[in-house]
Amino acid sequence: MISSKALRLGTFTRRFTALRSSPPVRGLATATQIPSPHPDVANRTPPYQKLVKNLFEVRRILGNGTGLTLAEKILYSHLDNPEESLCGRNGKIRGDAYLKLKVDRVAMQDASAQMALLQFMTCNLPNTSVPASIHCDHMIVGEKGADEDLIGSIRGNKEVFDFLESAAKKYGIQFWAPGSGIIHQVVLENYAAPGLMMLGTDSHTPNGGGLGAIAIGVGGADAVDALVDAPWELRAPKILGVKLEGQLSGWASPKDVILALTGKLTVRGGTGYIIEYFGPGVKSLSATGMATICNMGAEVGATTSLFPFTESMVSYLDSTRRSPIAKAALKVNAENGFLQPDKSAKYDEIITIDLSALEPHINGPFTPDLSTPLSKFKEAVAENNWPTGLSAGLIGSCTNSSYQDMSRVESLVKQAKAVGLKPKVDFFITPGSEQIRATLERDQTLKEFQEAGGTVLANACGPCIGQWKRTDNVAKGEHNAIFTSYNRNFKGRNDGNPGTMNFLTSPEIVTAFIYSGAMTFNPMRDTITTPSGEAFKFSPPAGPELPSRGFTEGNPDFYPVDATPSSEAEVVISPTSDRLALLEPFTPFGNSELKGLKVLYKVKGKCTTDTISAAGAWLKYKGHLDNISNNTLITAVNGETGEVNKAYDTDGSVSGIPELARKWQSAGQEWLVVAEHNYGEGSAREHAALQPRYLGGRIILAKSFARIHETNLKKQGMVPLTFVNENDYELIGSCDSVDTIGLLDMLKAGGEGEVKVRVTKKDGRQHEILVRHTISKDQAGFILAGSALNLLSKMAAQRP
C-alpha cells in the first residue's frame, strides 16, 4: 500500500530526533575476545547441503572427470535447472552458455535501492523471496567530521531514508541506518560467507569474494529478479586464474596486488571473466586484504573475483560472531572440497604475481588502470607534468577500511608523532563501518589520527563517490593532486572538479605522502626533515590482522532491527515529492523494425556511468526518474566537435543533451547514441540505462560495452549493439537517420539471427553497417515486452 501521509514515528525517525538533539553515543558495547555467535547466524549460513547436492548433479551432467574451478563450483551449484543450462553443450559453457541462477541474498545501497524498490513494488508481492538488506551509505556528505556531517545528511535526505526504512519494514528487509557503515564492509562483517552467491546493487559488491563468496554487482532490475524468486541470468564467464606466489613484506600491501593487476589488464581486460586467485601466496593474505583485492576487480570489468577458503577466513568469521559458519565451511570443504578448485581445474588464462617481489603502486590519474610502481612515480610526475604538490590525502572507504589497514597506518602516524612531524596537507579518514569505527576508538587509533590533525568522517562512502564538500579553497577547474585509498578515480568523481587528479594507492602510502606533501616523495628511500632539523625516514608499516580484544559493535542504534515483513506497514511517497516518484511501465517494442531513429549524440572517448548519469549532487534524485534524467550524458564529449554537453539539432540549433532528448521525445522522435569502447564502465548505476530509455532512446551503438551496463540496458528494453567493424564508427554522425534490419526477427527468434543498421546521411547517402549483439532468449523477451520489469510484473500477477 502506498501512502502519501506523513511518516509515523518509526525507528529511524526516533534515531534522527536523537541525533538532531545530540551527537551519536559512541562505543557503547564491548566485544569479548571470543564473541558469542550472532543470533541470526543460521539464516546467514549458505545452504551447503543443498549446494553440494546440486554440484553432484552438475558433475553427473558434465562427467565426473571434469575438473572445476572454485568459481564454477559455486555458480553451477546455484543453477535453477542444471539440465537446461548445461546439457548438450559439448563442454562449451564458459563464454557461451547462459546460466539461470538462484541467488542466496541481495544487498542494496541507498542510492540504488530507491529505484530497485520502486521496481519491486510494481510486482505487488508481500515480501522478498530471498534475504535482503538496505545500506544507507551513499547519501552522506564528507566535510567537517562524522557527527556534524551525519546529522546534516540525515536532515537533508530524511524523506528518502524514511521511504527506504518504511519499504524495508513492509517487505521484510534488514535496514542499516545512515552511519552504520558502507555496504561492502557491512556485508563482509555480517553476510558474506564461503560458497555464498549474492547480488548487490553496486559495482564493488565483489568485495565479498574476500570471504570466498560469488558476489556480483548488478542493476536494480537484476536485483528484482532475485527478490521475486525469478532465476537470474548470467552468461557463463570465462575464468582468469591469478596465481599468487611468495609473501608480501615491507611496504607492499594487498592493495598493490590489484593495482598492479589493473595495470596489466586495463579497465576492460577482465570483461567476461571471473578472476579466481589461487596458489601458495593466497594463504599469507588476511580475509580483509583479499576483500580489498576482490573489490577493485570491478575496475577491470570482471564479473566478480574470489579466493579459495583459507584459515584467515575462519579467523575473520570467528571474530565477527559467525563461528558456526566457519565450522560448517570447514566441514563441507573437508568432505567435498567444495570451497577450493579441483586439482584438475583449468583456467582460460593464468597470470602469476610474485608477492615477494611486489612493490607499492600508484594508479592514476583519471583512470584506475594507469599503474606506476612507486620507484618510478617521481619520474612519471615529471614526464606527465602532474602537480608536484599534494593537496589532500584520504584513507578508508569500502576498499581499505579494515582494522589491519588502519592499524598499519597508525604505526606510521606514531612514527611521525615521535619525531614531531605533522601532516602537511588535509588528512581524512573514513571508517568502513560502525564496528570498525568503535573498535578503532576503543584501541585509541582514532585518537592518534585526530591528534595528528586528521578529520574522521562518517561511516559512509563520502568523498569516494562524490559526496565531498571541500573546505580548502581549491577552485573549480584548478589542477591539484590528491592521494586516496579508494577504488575509482574518474575525472571529477570525488569533488566535482575535473581538475582534481586522484591517485589510487594503499592507505599506508597515502599516509606517508601527507607528511611530505610532495608528489616526488618515496617513503621507501627518502627522508623528511623534522622540526629539530634531523632527517627522518619511515620504517615499513606494521599492524595486526584483527584486534587482539575482538571487535566492539559500537552504537546499537546503527544496527538493524527485526526484518519480519509487515502487511500493515505503509510505504510512504508524497505525491508532491521531487525526490521520489512511482514508476510507469515502458511501452512494448512493437511489431516492426525501428525506423527513422536519429543520432542524438556521438560520444568520443571514455563514457562511464558517471558520464551518463552523474553522481554527487544528483544522488538526491535517484528515486525520481524524471528529475534525475536532467543529468543524462551532461559530461559526455561530442565526437564531432570536442565540446561537452553540446548537442546539435537538425536545424543547427545547439542545446544540452538532455534538453535535445526531451525536445525530440515530445515530438515523437526516438533516438540512439553512438559511442566508443567500454561504454558504461564504472558503477552499476542502472539510471544510466533507465534515463536514456525514459527520454526516448532505443539503441546504444558502441565499439564495446562494460558488462553490467550492457545487461542494464537490456533489462530496461534498450538495445545494445556493437560494430562488427569498429571503423564504421566514423560513418555515423549526429542527426543521421538510422533504421534497423533484422532486429525484430532476431528478437522474435529469441536472440538468433544477424542484425544490420541502415544509416541515411543528411545528404541522402546511405550505408549499411553490420552489428553484433549478445541478446539471449530471455533478454529478447525483456526487450519485446518493453522491459524486464514488465515481464516480472506479469508473472507476479499470475501467481496463485
Sign (positive or negative) of CA dihedral 636, 637, 638, 639: negative
Q: Among residues 741, 719, 721, 722, which one has the least CA distance to residue 787?
A: 719
Q: Residue 567: how many CB atoms within 10 A of its CB?
A: 9
Residue 261 DSSP class = H
Q: Are 597 and 671 in contact (CB under 8 A)?
A: yes
Q: Among residues 552, 362, 524, 556, which one has the least CA distance to residue 444?
A: 552
Phi, psi of 622 (to 5 degrees): -60, -25
Active-site residue (options: 44, 110, 133, 137): 137
Active site residue 488: yes
Q: At which residue does the C-alpha cell 519499504 appear?
A: 167
Active-site residue (options: 321, 470, 685, 698): 685
List, in sequence order, every beta strand (DSSP E) within 213-272.
Answer: 214-217, 232-235, 238-245
DSSP reduced 3-state for 176: strand
Helix, strand, coil % over all residues of the chain, rounded to 5: 35, 20, 45
Q: Are 623 and 114 in contact (CB under 8 A)?
A: yes
Q: At which residue does the C-alpha cell 521484510 appear?
A: 172
Grid cell of 179 as nine digits: 552511519
- Residue 343 and residue 337: Cα distance in Å, rounded? 10
Helices and strands (H and E) in the chain: how many: 25, 32
Residue 205 DSSP class = G
Active site residue 773: no
Sign (positive or negative) of CA dihedral 711, 713, 715, 721: negative
H/E run at residue 392: strand 390-396
Q: Are 239 and 69 in contact (CB under 8 A)?
A: yes
Active-site residue (options: 268, 322, 361, 488): 488
Active site residue 202: yes
Active site residue 312: no
How many residues does this entry show for the chain? 800
Amino acid at 331: K
Active-site residue (options: 683, 704, 734, 776): 683
Q: Among residues 715, 713, 719, 718, which one has the least CA distance to residue 790?
A: 715
Active-site residue (options: 202, 222, 495, 610): 202
Report the chain's C-alpha Rg in angstroms.
25
- Residue 663 and residue 669: Cα distance in Å, rounded? 9
Active site residue 683: yes
Phi-psi region of 35 (alpha: psi -120 to 50; beta: other; left: phi over 0): beta
Q: Among residues 709, 650, 653, 640, which one has the least CA distance to residue 677?
A: 709
Active-site residue (options: 78, 135, 138, 677): 138
Residue 457 DSSP class = P
Active site residue 539: no
Pairing of strands 232-235, 98-101: antiparallel
Cis peptide before 720 (omega within 30 of 0): no
Grid cell of 159 as nine digits: 524523506
Catalytic residues: 137-138, 202, 488, 683, 685
